[in-house]
Structure 1
Amino acid sequence: LANLLGSLLIMFEKPFRVGHWIKLGDTEGIVESIGFRSTRIRTFYNSLVSIPSNTLVNSTVDNMHMRTYRRVRTTLLISYDTPADTVEAFIEGIKQLVLDSPHTRKDRYRIRLDDFSDFGLQILVNFFLDVANTKAEQVERQQILMGILKLAESMDIQFATPALMPVPEAPQNT
């Protein structure tokens, strides 16, 4: 009975529809069907999860499909050898890439020197895309990230990577 009432609430309130990307606890995926007893979600591992309607009604459902903007957040790690003036110019260049894109939110972005790590300078890149779907999000995200890569190349900025130290072989007993 609880599942039937839950399914009726889902059908009337419509917090999500078939085809929407939702998150519910540890479950995340695309809604494949909404039934009286349960809702089926196809996860990004391609498994099918059935969630009882009563569980859905009593849980927090994050409908990713209904986002107005899509957040992009990454941290760039650049070499400590980069001069401070070059770091500032690089940050300004990234800001300009975000502002020049027709698909970014202009009032909420953050690009800044964020921290000093063991391996390099951390630059936070955080902005929002105004796109209709995941495919467009991936295309626009790549456009801006490629722009950042080209900007770094043009400014001769090296991305830092953690150094892997070879482990010396133990002497062999003879």
Structure 2
Amino acid sequence: MPASAFAFGIWELVPSGLFLLLALVLPLLFYHLGGGFLHRLQKHLPKWLCILTESYLKPLVWALRQTLAFAAAGMLPFVQQHPSLADFLATASTLLNIYFIALGAWRSAPMCRLLLRSAQNHLDLETNQTMARFFENLFRALVGLFAGIAMLDTLGVPVSGLLTGAGVAGIAISLAAQSTLSNLIAGVALVLEHPFGIGDYIVLGDLEGTVEDISFRSTKFRTLDNIVVSIENSKVASEYIRNCNQRQSRLWDFTIGVTYGTPRETLETLCCDLTALLQNDPEVIPDKVTVTVDTFNAYSIDLRCRVYITKTSLADFLQAKNRLNLQIMDMVHKDGCDFAFPTTTIEMAGEK
């Protein structure tokens, strides 16, 4: 090969080499300089813009790198001599760009929390993540759908025909999958109505536990024996939902049985002393304490006590009951009363 031809061949590789060098250096400069610039501007930018720029920083770096790398490959003489290979590289570059753009949108899903907070100020999204997580999943599903449509269009697939066919098929599927659609609609209703959130302790019929997740189809919660139960959203929406986390106190309704030999004056004193004992307790709502003579049972006079304890968690509630039960026992003995228990009197007939 003549030297001039060799030099000309090397010269043809120079543009490709320059683009390859830019693919190695320029994305790194963009990442470090852009990242440092955004870090300095974070205190001056709105939060949604910070989330958006941080979500797209790395995908844009990757998109820039692959675009320059594919441009370098497209300048090679071998590629320019084969149009089909050049078209393949251009299509692959476009598909990767669509993927990186969709990846940035996927990573920016936390902006849904800010939109929800601005739309409904009464939502405490820092302590209750239910609605934010639900709409983040919905947003990411839409991002994946539109990215898939854009990729199919790039590959030359007739998207309009597919969408028309999908609409017809969707009608048929909706008729065949009514339960799935009802679960989806019920899930949206549960998220919007917000009867409970993730982390809440709820009671649904015979089941109770802590909510762990709310998806498009079902709600998952963990029972007291540490079993995860998944219930369809339509069934959850049709049940009476009792949210134990939204109460401000727990009702303790109990009965004390004393013997029939207890005088009336002693019963009155015991009722007054028990009322004062419960009202003076710091974990009891004083104006909701009632102690009354309730029932004359077969073997006891029953005193009914209704107390509202401010401790809402089960562990703290049980500890308060334990402490108060011991104090009640001491008070009953102090007032000269005895606890009743089932007794049976047997009369023995003497021998004739």
Structure number with the bigger relative contact order (C-alpha 8 A, sep ≥ 6) is 1
The residue aligned with 1:57 is: 237
Do structure 1's residue 151 and structure 2's residue 331 form an aligned pair?
A: yes
> Once the 2 structures are TM-superposed, how far is the Cα of residue 38 of structure 1 from its aligned partner?
1.0
1:122 maps to 2:302: yes
1:3 matched residue in structure 2: 183
- Pair 1:89–1:51, CA change in 2 (3 A): same
**1:4-46 Cα shifts (integer Å, max 9, x gaps):** 1211222233211223221122222222332221112333344
Secondary structure of the corresponding residue to residue 304 of structure 2? strand
Letter in structure 2 aligned against 1:81: G
Structure 2 distance, partners of 1:39, 1:139, is: 31
Per-residue CA shift, 1:61-96, capped at 9, x if unaligned?
011121112100001111111121111111111101
Say which SS state the counterpart of residue 107 (structure 1) adopts: helix
Task: Give the distance between the partners of 1:160 and 1:45, measured in 2 at CA.
Answer: 35
- SS in structure 1 opposite 2:342? coil
CA distance in structure 1 between the aligned counterparts of 2:315 and 2:285, rounded to whole angstroms: 18
Does structure 1 residue 99 correspond to structure 2 residue 283?
no
Given candidates 198, 213, 216, the residue that maps to 1:18 is 198
Comparing 79-88 with 156-165, greater Cα deviation is found at: 156-165
Q: Aligned-residue CA RMSD in angstroms? A: 2.0
The structure with more radius of gyration: 2
Separation (CA, whole Å) in 1 of partners of 2:340 and 2:202: 36
Code of the aligned partner of 2:275: K
TM-score normalised by the chain length of structure 2: 0.44
**What TM-score does the superposition give when structure 1 sets the normalisation length?**
0.85
Distance 2:295 2:280 in 1: 26
Instruction: Tell me if 1:69 matches 2:249.
Output: yes
**Equivalence for 2:213:** 33
Q: What's the CA shift for 1:98?
A: 1.3
Q: 1:171: which partner in 2?
A: none
5+ unaligned residues in a row in structure 1: which ranges? Answer: 167-174
Q: What secondary structure, in the 3-state scheme, does the structure 1 residue paired with 2:286 have?
A: coil
In 1, are the aligned partners of 2:256 and 2:303 still within 8 Å (CA)?
A: yes
- What residue identity is the alignment partner of 1:17? G
1:39 is aligned with what amino acid? T
Identity %: 27
Query: Which structure 2 residue ranges, 5 or more long, are not aligned?
Result: 1-180, 347-352
Q: CA deviation at 1:47?
A: 4.0
State the SS of the aligned residue for 2:202. strand
Task: Write 1 or 2 for the structure with the bigger share of strand.
Answer: 1
**Judging changes above 3 Å, is the alpha-carbon distance between structure 1 residues 59 and 100 closer, same or farther for their aligned structure 2 residues?**
same
